[in-house]
Amino acid sequence: MPARWWPVLVVSVLAAGCGGPTARRAYLIVAIEDRFERIAAQRPPEGPVADQLDRVRLDHAADLDIDSLLDQLEAHNEAQPEVERTLALAELHLRAGLTAPPWNRAQALGHFRAAASYGALALDDPALPPLDPRQAGRAVALQNRALERLLRTLDADDFQPSPAGPSDWESAGIRLASPSPLFDPDRIRGLVPAADYRVLGMQAWYGNDGLGVPLLVKRVIPIDEPKRRDERYLPRQTWCPATAVAQPEGSLAGGTWRDAPLAVELIDPFEAQAVRRGAAVYRLASDRTTPLAVHSGNADLKKIIRTGLLTGQFLGNRLETGIVMLQPYQPGKIPVLLIHGLNDGYATWFQVLNHLRNDPELSARYQFWLYFYPTGNPVIVSAGVLRQAIRQARTHYDPDCADPAWDQMVLVGHSMGGLLARLMIQGSGSVLEQAAFTRPLEQIRAGPRLRAFLNQTLRFEPVPEVRRVVFIATPHRGSHVASQLLGRLASLLVGTTAPIAQAAHQIRAENGPDVFQPSFRLRHLTSIANLRFDSPSLQLLEHLPFNPRVPCHTICFMLATRPVPIPTDGVVPYESAHIDAVESELVLPGHHLDHQKPRVTAELKRILRLHGMRAPLPSPQRY
């Protein structure tokens, strides 16, 4: 192999998963915008607000402060509510909050609460006539600005649930509410306006303007608490998109809205795109991309990925292996499981995920899941764990096997993840146990746990739920790079993973060294060793039969900078990525880590639309 290809393995083994999108808090920009808005609030009112003051002869009353002006204007409005007067009150309260003394936080909170309430009541109070487009636009803008100011003043990015807090929320007459269990206040540890972040590296931003404040909700399940049934596959810590809208109780007439806390309602923008206020329907504002970019920058995730490569297991309990759902489970929608490759994590799919779950046609039919696993283990071992994870998820959510969407599952695997996906549609027969051992499994002495592990790993049938597989840069026959000196050194660096070494030691101790076939006795049992061209595991897997009912697709890459003796993506040669038994094959210019490129996503969308034509649309959910 040419020497210039060797560094590619270093990139894939030691640096995979380090790049990708991220997001940063724009503290300086937010501070500058805040200052300009406060300066603007000190100017005399103009336009409709000045007109309202003129009507009640309060415009130039030098002996009245802002609170007295508001009290008198509110008294008029409570006796006879009017649209323009309500909007003027919302703007005046917003101005009063912005110009409140810095040391009087409670005063600012009171004004922002009132401004958000008046903006919301202008849209929804039955005492008011329907709003014209100009009035509706003002009401939405005032509610949004006041609610964002309210959350900033409350320091909502450090939210603590009762009873540890939120005393500030209670004293200010504000409470959190949501129709989604995803936003249970007991799980929320931060509410940050999405506008505070600047996204770097994302190919596209998905969101829109409208009613409400797009937020990043920091959702945390404490390590010392068990997960609830509905959140079993949610990460213990993640950033979720939400839209905050103000929902006051009571009405303008008589000012009864003051008697109950203002509900700040958190809405999942993937569940609802619009809300009804009065006789009109308003599109919700949203930012469905920034939370992914923030989650992608999790430094702990990157550290744990490397321990998964070097030790074959995740140390500690801050991150769990297995299926990961960033959104709640959705009955009736077909699962699409994205499986990462060597020394990588599920964040490697965030570019692709950002496109897929924001495609209206695909999101109506599919739910997108991620698979996270330590990549130091042999491929056959990791595949056995995946097989069990799919079975457990089905039992958890569909124990009666009544949901036909489960039987249309799609797997998408990149690099070594493609090998795991392939093993989900193959049956082992007795081939693997005969290749590994000199006697049948039944004759091998082993305890219950070890025997279950051997059966799970060496004896399996195609997973019945899987009905389509997409291979991306998958080394079906191994990699020349992994077979070279650098690959062998990397395999030694990874080391034999602890669980595998313990299992092998126990088998030898109870059955003698001759229990293993000669070709496996001195093998270095690691994922990188599995990827060599001389790997007996890959040679065996190549001859296992595919499930004939499962169509497969291949996406692979070729370096195109200059003619090369062996077509390759720098890690996997074309002869290894290509298999005959596929429905389609797409060869793109690029390197091994180009699985997030837009052309790959476009091909995935094509395949998913083709697959979805066979399945009926799920019943629409009501929100």
* 364 token code pair: 């109506």
Angle of the 498-511 helix axis to the 448-458 helix axis, nearest 10 = 110
- Reported as a single tens digit per residue, the pLDDT across 220-279 is 998 888 899 999 999 988 999 999 999 999 999 998 999 999 999 999 999 999 999 988
Rounded Cα–Cα distance for residues 232 and 239 (Å) = 16
CA angle 198, 111, 266 (to 5 degrees): 50
Tracing tokens 């006879």 back to the chain, one arrives at 80
Q: Is the pLDDT of residue 491 over 70?
A: no
Bridge-partner residues for 369, per DSSP?
337
> What are the helix (H) ranges across 398-535?
416-423, 431-436, 448-458, 480-483, 485-494, 498-511, 518-521, 527-530
**Segments of the chain assigned to CATH 3.40.50.1820:** 3-19+298-431+443-500+524-612
Predicted TM-score of the model (pTM): 0.87
Q: Is the pLDDT of residue 416 over 60?
A: yes
By percentage, how much of the chain surpasses pLDDT 90? 48
- Reported as a single tens digit per residue, the pLDDT across 351-369 is 999 999 999 999 999 999 9
pLDDT of residue 366: 97
> What are the helix (H) ranges across 99-132?
105-124
Whether omega before 101 lies within 30 degrees of 0, making that bond cis, reads: no
Rounded Cα–Cα distance for residues 408 and 221 (Å) = 31
pLDDT of residue 485: 38
In this structure, whether the domain defined by 3-19+298-431+443-500+524-612 belongs to CATH 3.90.950.20 is answered with no
pLDDT of residue 163: 55
* 41 token code pair: 């609030």
pLDDT of residue 6: 40
Rounded Cα–Cα distance for residues 506 and 593 (Å) = 38
Rounded Cα–Cα distance for residues 311 and 374 (Å) = 8
Q: Are 584 and 554 in contact (CB under 8 A)?
A: yes
**3-state class (DSSP) for residue 359:** coil
Q: Mean of the per-residue pLDDT values for the chain? A: 83
Phi, psi (deg, nearest 5) at residue 618: -70, 160
Taking residues 482-486, report their average pLDDT.
42
Count of all residues that appear for the chain in the document = 623
